[in-house]
Chain A
Amino acid sequence: MTSEAVPAGSQSIRETARSRDVSPWRRLLLRPEVGALLGAIIVWVVFAVLAWDRGFVSARGVATYLEVAAQLGILAVAVALLMIAGEFDLSVGSIIGAGSVIAALIPTQLGINFWWGIVTALVFSLLIGFVNGVVVVRTALPSFIVTLASLFIIRGITIGTTRLVTGRTQVGGLQNVPGFESAATIFAYDIPLFGAAFPVSIIWWIVVAAISTWVLLRTQLGNWIFAVGGNPVAARMVGVPVRRVKILLFMNTALAAWLVAMIEITSARSADVLRGEQREFYAIIAAVIGGVLLTGGYGTVIGAVLGALIYGMVRQGVVFAGIDADWVAAVLGAMLLAAVLVNRYVRQRALGARE
């Protein structure tokens, strides 16, 4: 046995290095969000044709569907990050309900500044996210079950408490509490543009998406998110703090739910215990349409943004086209199925499946 250095790259190794150049066009087609981009274009074209002269393409039309898309999009972006890390959060809808009621009850019942309610709701939401995360990582139960349980627990307590305190399930008159004006400016300001009113929630959506995509693709935490979803055991072996990453992302979805709740109650000037109902499903649909893999480890924030945009255009498009809104659910379901099929194909290609 000798300790001579062995020359690398002799013949039999070279043979294993085979790959071919892939055209930029093909590479573009392999991105996870390409299906969602095509879907968004198709949906826009369909409704542009159906409702061109009914205002779908007008500034007012754009503002309406962007508002719907923004409120779902803020949530979908956070849900996408969590799903890439391999977990679900079904409790976000109930956090929206609970957060909005807490933020509304505190100033109206106690007669104190609105901001106390907003901050309390924030702390409450982060706490719920933290508890969700800790229960999931400690018990190793599927997050689907854990957060399904918290969905029902939180929704039940919200309805029960609100009826106990007010005798109703709604809290109105928010515009009269001190501090409402400043909160409404931050969460529900309308920006006049091209003769239409664009709600500031669109800006929030863009900011949340921009930060999230930067974190996911350009930071150490982002690399850990992919790894935690791709293979948690392997990730732990190389020193990734798997549990902390997951808990952080559960808190992040709760934070997004809080932001959506604040936007909704400041623009509606009232809170409702049923606010956010079924939003968890729409957020997951948006993320999946955007190419996020249900089993984790794969997906993009931009995809979830496009998924939410598709949702907004479908939801408002049918209204502009004069179609009964009952059809929205069917269209979304069909798109979800189509998206999953397209995304599976794209992913197999990305892994170099043979033609």
Chain B
Amino acid sequence: MSDSTTAPVMNGHAGSERVLDVPKGTRLLALENASKYFGSVIALEDVSMDLKAGEVHALLGDNGAGKSTLIKILSGVYQPDEGRYLVGDEEVHFNSPRDALARGIATVYQDLAMIPLMGISRNFFLGQEPEKGWGPFKRFDLQTANAITREELHKMGIEIRDPEHAVGTLSGGERQSVAIARAVYFGANVLILDEPTAALGVKEAAVVLKYIAQARARNLGVVFITHNVHHAYPIADRFTILNRGRSYGTFEKNDVSREQVVQMMAGGEDLERLGNELEEFARLDAEKHARLTPVAAETDVSMMQMGRELENEGDRVSG
């Protein structure tokens, strides 16, 4: 693997086999009492969190909880109005995602991970194309790009016939995996994954979770943003739970049950009453459906099945 032909934006650039060379548990980044306001709207208030090497840190919250604002602060799109953002022990002020990338903080957005009509290797190296040749004859070294892409995907267990095939031919889970592999390959120490499993089926989500576990095993720090507890719970080491722009705090997995996490995400006791009402509706609906069609019941079973599969997957991966 040759990295002499290209000027890497990020530090490192040692391929996806790289292991982050700091003691496990070293603090990679931290947000201290960060707030962000948009006019009179409080998007985020007094939120603190940190990320350690070798952990998956789930950032949970319902729609509108402030997850997107928090990611955008971490990835350099926004600056916090109050509070401090530390990378290692140093306070930083990022002006663009490029600044964050330069510090090894890479963000993979759910729907912006890949460009579907472009080839896989062209996507993989977009913005960091290996070049060869001289002066005006400098050209994109597609052979190298193809070889590295094939090799990196092979390591992830994705076999492709032709690295120049359009990314659109890959499944949603494969696309997310390739995007994560790309970030790791180009030297990310911190992966910020925005809803990486959102639009995926059970098996595909499992593939992505497995790859997140691999990144953790290489001692990288992973921020896993999701509103789906069932995807986050099996793989995360810690949870930070957001609700209406505020943080409920960060919890170790051992200290909190899945049900407690769900409850906090939903906004606590206020919503418990509503929850009871909804349950009552659901019970009535289920009775009606059970009379009309057996399909509804099956759907419920398959949802439970999915949860169990993921949990097993997570245990197996982390065990």
- State the A residues within 8 Å of B (CB): 1-6, 8-10, 12-17, 19, 21-22, 214, 218-220, 222-224, 226-227, 230-231, 233-235, 237-240, 293, 297-298, 347, 350-352
Chain A neighbourhood of B213, CB < 8 A: 6
Provide the residues of chain A in CB contact with B161, threshold 8 Å: 19, 21-22
- In angstroms, Cα B245 to Cα A215, docked, is 48
- A10 neighbours in B (Cβ, 8 Å): 157, 210
Chain B interface residues toward A at CB < 8 A: 9, 24, 54-55, 97-98, 101, 107, 109, 112-118, 122, 125-129, 131, 138-140, 142, 154-161, 165-166, 168-169, 171, 173-174, 203-204, 206-207, 210, 213-214, 216-219, 237, 313, 317-319
A-B contact pairs, 9 of them (CB 8 A): A13-B207, A16-B157, A16-B203, A17-B158, A230-B115, A230-B117, A231-B115, A235-B115, A351-B117
Nearest-Cβ distance from residue B74 to partner chain A, whole angstroms: 14
**Distance between Cα atoms of A352 and B119 in the complex (Å):** 13
Give Cα A15 to B207, complex, Å: 10
- Contacts of B216 on A, CB cut-off 8 Å? 3
CA distance A350 to B206 in the complex (A): 27
**B142 closest partner in A (C-beta):** A218
A3 to B128, CA, bound (A): 30
Q: Are A223 and B126 in contact (CB under 8 A)?
A: yes
Do residues A3 and B217 form an inter-chain contact, with CB atoms below 8 A? yes
Task: Establish whether residues B159 and A17, one from each chain, have CB atoms under 8 Å apart when the complex forms.
Answer: yes
Contacts of A239 in B (CB 8 A): 9, 98, 101, 127-128
Contacts of B218 in A (CB 8 A): 5
Question: Top 4 A-B pairs ranked by shortest CB distance?
Answer: A9-B157, A13-B157, A230-B115, A351-B168
A12 near B217 with CB under 8 A, answer no
The answer to whether A230 touches B118 (Cβ under 8 A) is: yes
Contact A223 B140 (CB under 8 A): yes
Q: Given contacts A5-B218, A219-B138, A219-B140, are A230 and B116 in contact (CB under 8 A)?
A: yes
Pick the contact of A3 from B54, B113, B160 — CB < 8 Å?
B54
A12 to B9, CA, bound (A): 34
| A1 engages B114 (CB within 8 Å) | no
Point out which of A222, A237, A238 has the most chain B C-beta atoms below 10 A from its C-beta.
A238
